Chains A and B, each alone.
Chain A
């Protein structure tokens, strides 16, 4: 976009939204240069603050007409650079659209604007005995719209699933600027499962301007324990025993010695001294079940070598257990100036083996790796520690990080369990998927956004030329055109 086009577009958007909602001042633009992954920074050409669906549709429509890329941003807490702005594009900030439109207890649904904060919805629903189940660690600040884009999970998704399992309806502004209603409070809308495609598409298929979500009944009982083990091997074995016994806890989280050290330094969570690993296991549900299985879990932990088990007596103690875990990423800042967070997934049973191999990679490269993870579903969050001020460390950390990704793929896992691909992991996608796999995914992209203006450059390392603009497709079959197929 050249300077003149930018001026034209700015004028248009000022007319549409008002002067206050359009930011052009460079200093103010810079506050939007990154999301939760601060190592990537791009100053957007223009920022607009949307207040209504009509605003979003008007901005997207103007972008489409001028063929200018746009990026939607919620609270900007994402960890994969999914909301990284485009230098020649418009950043559409959704956080002013933050009204909970409806809490519909009889239907177990809520309708919210995308800027609504995740935890705020649960707080509003709680007096009626309900909450919103997906609980990313950033839930105090992250937005539901961002959760929709990233298909966010959280510690409790082991039992309750991810965002995609809890969204039943969306109002979507398409990359052409049209407003489309998909699904609603009822399930199983006829036709293709567009919700399934859109949730987790990282803002590349349009912008959600209204979200209908399922609300979950608060459990009758919650019990939480913290078990300390000499080594991650024993903690891993305890996890396998628990799951193998048919117990599905609400959450099973693990931290290794280095992660514990960081958490202690940051929030003084008081985890047991000398632990090589701690597990936090939380069970919830009907009282009779939970009490019985909680005793089982405690025994499984002891059988597998736990040297100390603490049981949360009340909500305050439970909060303390979780405090160490939920603050782990930030806490690592106390023991290392810089770090890379990985988000790979492995089959749960491979946990002990993969942790040993991560340790070997770490030792060989001389790069420390702290491990914090959702052990129940094999979602690792290795934190690769380095000091950017020391020449060569950053490169070595990047190599270790890449080697861990390869390890996850080797064991049949995934490069990302919940943080998304975004800008950060697009380069890893070809390690997990073939060209044909990626090409097939991009067919979906082409259907929604043939001009590739909705958050371009994310997810896919190489954009696909769509070849078709809706309503303009005429002529021979593309395969016949390409000489691949003949027409008889």
Chain B
């Protein structure tokens, strides 16, 4: 039967399907085949083969976040989107782009830079457009320009049953029909395959300044962030980098026209006090995940004013469990990542996460495990409690009743 399936996959993709190798493993789950469609039509044909043969499908872009979420229960087929990498339309005057899901973000940035525009997700990375949407991996500039969900204005998708559908469009203002694009944003490939996406763009700023200052105590960090968010500085981003030991850094990105950035930089230096510095270059850590290699990566959300509670909770839990934590993220938005290191086994990690979740009401947020090495995810619920889970199950049942799209990877075993 396997021979028939690979033949059908090859027929669907003009030969671009193969038996999987070890390198194609998804979170250490070995798939049997890899298909690389180069169009929405080919993707639909692949999904029909998957439907006919009840193949579990994991969609893969640049594979930079393929291990996010829980490990899928089964993986038969990896659907690689990287051949769908064309810029379909860049209407510079309308500040929109329509692009294939497989286009890399750093390539897209280069495509747009010539027109003085960009997709406001920083920093540039090798991940793909489709992956960006599927993982909702926002960058620091979401503070001003909005998260991925707000930049996405239209999608072309292939459903689990092979049906092709569109939602949204290529104009920014549009309320015709349900916003299926938002539903897919952050869905980790469990609802449909994204083959094309339309985004609103922003003009590249003429001037940029990063204003940074060393900060230490949770209370002091919170107070400074509060001063910044209620000020008239209109920062594009406010990021905190807090290594496991030593001082933390709070950095503001100010963007705009030169006279405006200059005046706001001066105001920011005044506000942030002694030791604050300004410069045209981003700090080295800007927008990167706080990982040195092989550690556990958490995503925490918090109420903006819950920051001190979050930092204290993290310190307390680390002291309790022996982990060290490196926190980095958008503290004026209330979404940060934490790299945990130096700890024990999966059981210890589960205890640490549980302990953080117990304290989550104090900062008004959630704790999700994005990545954990080895068997790290084995003992724990990576997603934690989820509001509206019944509705989410219902959505999944409608879109993928056969549970073929990354089964088990998402919240509540979806």
Contacts and interface: CB of A to CB of B under 8 A. Distances in A.
A413 interface: yes
Interface in A285-336: 285-289, 292-293
B183 A197 contact: yes
B232 interface: yes
A359 B287 CA distance: 50
B136 A191 contact: no
Interface in A425-458: 425, 429, 432-434, 436-441, 443-448
A238 interface: no
Interface string B246-264: 0000000000110110111
B169 interface: yes
Contacts of A134: none
B114 interface: no
Contacts of B229: 108, 217
Nearest to B115: A244
B245 to A, nearest CB: 28
A374 interface: yes
B154 to A, nearest CB: 10
Contacts of A190: 366, 368, 383-384, 386, 411
Nearest to A345: B171
A261 interface: no
A192 B334 contact: no
Contact of A429 (B176, B364, B395): B176
A292 B173 contact: no
A487 B116 CA distance: 52
Size bracket of the A interface: 35 or more
A107 interface: yes
A477 B95 CA distance: 43
Nearest to A409: B169
A134 B411 CA distance: 32
A153 B174 CA distance: 10
A479 B398 CA distance: 12
Interface stretch (B75-83, B157-165, B211-219, B272-280): B157-165
A414 B176 contact: yes
Nearest to A194: B388
B171 A377 contact: yes
Nearest to B165: A440
B93 A244 contact: yes
A466 B167 CA distance: 20
B29 to A, nearest CB: 21
Which of A197, A286, A419, A439 has the most chain B CB atoms closer than 10 A to its own CB?
A: A286
A420 B165 CA distance: 21
Contact of A443 (B259, B365, B399): B399
Contacts of B166: 433-434, 437
A421 interface: yes
B175 A191 contact: no
Contacts of A466: 398
B147 interface: yes
Interface stretch (B49-57, B348-356, B371-379): B49-57
A468 B53 contact: no
B11 interface: no
B41 interface: no
A485 B93 contact: no
A107 B164 contact: no
Given A440-B157, A485-B52, A217 B386 contact: no
Contact of A186 (B175, B301, B391): B301
Interface in A176-217: 178, 180-197, 199-201, 217
A349 B183 CA distance: 29
Contacts of A184: 364, 387
Given A377-B171, A412-B171, A486-B52, A192 B183 contact: yes
Contact of A444 (B170, B180, B186, B259): B180
B3 interface: no
Nearest to B400: A443
Interface string A105-138: 1111100000000000000000001000000000
B7 interface: no
B182 A196 contact: yes
B238 interface: no
Interface string B86-103: 000001011110000000
B344 interface: no
B171 A378 contact: yes
Given A197-B182, A286-B260, A470-B394, A418 B175 contact: yes
Interface stretch (B19-27, B124-132, B302-310, B311-319): B302-310
A189 B392 CA distance: 12
B175 A106 contact: no
Given A286-B234, A418-B175, A437-B165, A487 B387 contact: no
B167 A441 contact: yes
B171 A347 contact: yes
Contacts of A220: 232
B242 interface: no
A209 to B, nearest CB: 14
B66 interface: no
A413 B169 contact: yes
B179 A289 contact: no
B388 A180 contact: yes
A177 to B, nearest CB: 13
Contacts of A244: 93
A293 B389 CA distance: 47
B341 interface: no
Contacts of B364: 107, 184-186
A157 B411 CA distance: 33
Contact of B334 (A187, A196, A419, A434): A187
A485 B51 contact: yes
B149 A429 contact: no
A473 interface: yes
B182 A479 contact: no
B383 A441 contact: no
Given A183-B387, A443-B398, A487-B54, A292 B257 contact: yes
A272 interface: no
A441 B399 CA distance: 10
Which of B388, B391, B394, B397 has the most chain A CB atoms closer than 10 A to its own CB?
A: B391
A105 B365 CA distance: 17
Given A185-B303, A197-B182, A286-B232, A347 B174 contact: no
B365 to A, nearest CB: 5
Which of B173, B391, B399 has the most chain A CB atoms closer than 10 A to its own CB?
A: B173
Contact of B259 (A193, A292, A374, A433): A292
Given A188-B136, A194-B391, A459 B177 contact: yes
Which of A161, A165, A192, A219 has the most chain B CB atoms closer than 10 A to its own CB?
A: A192
B303 A346 contact: no
B226 interface: yes
B62 interface: no
A165 B392 CA distance: 21
Contact of B387 (A182, A346, A446): A182
B161 A414 contact: no
Nearest to A440: B165
A313 to B, nearest CB: 22
Contacts of B181: 196
A107 B368 contact: no
Given A165-B150, A196-B182, 4 more contacts: A187-B334, A196-B181, A468-B397, A473-B401
17 contacts: A107-B364, A161-B146, A190-B384, A193-B136, A246-B116, A289-B256, A289-B257, A345-B174, A346-B171, A374-B173, A379-B173, A416-B175, A432-B169, A436-B164, A473-B397, A479-B51, A488-B53
- The 9 lowest CB-CB distance pairs between A and B, nearest first, are A196-B182, A289-B260, A106-B305, A246-B203, A440-B165, A349-B93, A447-B394, A414-B174, A443-B398
